[in-house]
Structure 1
C-alpha cells in the first residue's frame, strides 16, 4: 500500500548556478506530496495521517513556509528541495511496517520533480 499526504507552502528562492530568469529572486506556491509504502500495523494503518502532518509541518514546513530557501539549500532547485526534504523526513517515518517511498515537489501546477531516494 502507498499512503499519500499533500502539503502546500509559499517560499522564495533564486538559482545561483543558473543563467536565466530564475537566477533572480522569485517565489512559488509549492505543493509537496509525501508517499509512504508499507503494510498495516496493529491499528490497521500504515502511518497515522495526523502524525505525518505534524512531522512535516514541524520539521519541514516550519522552516520553509514564507521563507527564503537559499538559507537552507545552496541551489534550491526542485530536485535539491526534494532531496533535502527526503533526507530530513526519511529517518522520522521509517518503521518496521513502512518506509518513505517518494517525495514530489511541484513549483507550479505543471512543473515538478519526483524523488525516491538514492
Structure 2
C-alpha cells in the first residue's frame, strides 16, 4: 500500500506578547491564526474495518487537533510563565483565559509545541509530516519532519 498525506486546516484567535522584545510585539496583541496539519500514513487495508481505505478519518484528525491545540488557545492570551507575576495575577483574578508557556510565544516556538502535542496523540501508524502556522495573512512558519531527522 502506498503512503498518502492528508492535510486539515484550522483557525483560531489568540493574543500574545513577546517578553523583553525590542519592537511593538512586546505589547499584548492578537492574531487570527491559521494552522495547517499534514500527516502521512498508509490507508487501512482491512476490509472489515469501518475506516477501510482511510489513513485517518478527517473527523478524528479534527477532534485531535481541536482538543490539544485549538480549544486551549482559541480566545486565550499566551504569555511566558516568567511574565510579571502582578500582571498574571490580575488577569487570573479577572478570569481571563491565560496560557502560560516556558517559551517565548513566537510562531516558531508554538509550532514546536504543537508538534510535541500532536506526536503524543497520533495513532502509531500515522506520522506527522508538517505543520504550517500563519500569524498574519502574509507571514507563516513551517515545521517539517524531514528537516528534523
- TM-score, normalisation: structure 1: 0.92
After superposition, the CA RMSD in angstroms is: 1.3
**For the Cα contact (< 8 Å) 1:94–1:100, is it kept in 2?**
no
Pairs within 5 Å for 1:1-118: 1-42=4-45, 43-70=52-79, 71-73=99-101, 74-96=103-125, 98-117=126-145, 118=148
> Residues 17 and 75 of structure 1 are in contact (CA less than 8 Å); yes or no, is this contact kept in structure 2?
no
Instruction: Determine the C-alpha separation between the residues in 2 that align with 1:102 and 1:47.
Output: 16
- Deviation for aligned residue 1:92: 1.1
CA contact (8 A) 1:90 1:99 kept: yes
Which 5+ residue runs of structure 1 have no aligned equivalent? none
Structure 2 regions of 5+ residues with no counterpart?
46-51, 80-98
- How many corresponding residue pairs? 117
More relative contact order, 1 or 2 (CA 8 Å, 6+ apart): 1
SS in 2 for 1:101: strand
Larger Cα-atom Rg: 2
